[in-house]
Amino acid sequence: MSNQELDLRAIPHGQRHGLVFAAFDALKVDESFVLVNDHDPNPLRMQMDFMRHGQLGWEYLERGPEAFRVKISRVAEAPRKG
């Protein structure tokens, strides 16, 4: 999904975070996508940082008022389990 946009504005609120996590989990290290949202997705950032700690890059490209664009990158692999 590198360099793709994931536009959440038409997606029901209850489905948004799951879609973002799925898109992030599909990334390889150094890949990214641009998240487009109708409000500041900072609560999502906090959730992702907690659940994918150390793996996430987050860079605002546009901060409203109509649209928020955030470049989300995978900066590290997920820790191995076991």
pTM score, two decimals?
0.91
Count: domains in the chain: 1
Question: What pLDDT does residue 3 have?
Answer: 63
Domain assignment present for residue 61? The answer is yes
Q: What is the CATH number of the domain that holds 22?
A: 3.30.110.40
**Which range of residues forms the domain containing residue 68?**
4-74
Q: What is the pLDDT of residues 21-54, one digit of tens each?
A: 999 999 999 999 999 999 999 999 999 999 999 9
- Range 41-61 burial, b when 16+ CB lie within 10 A, else e: beebbeebeeebeebbebeee
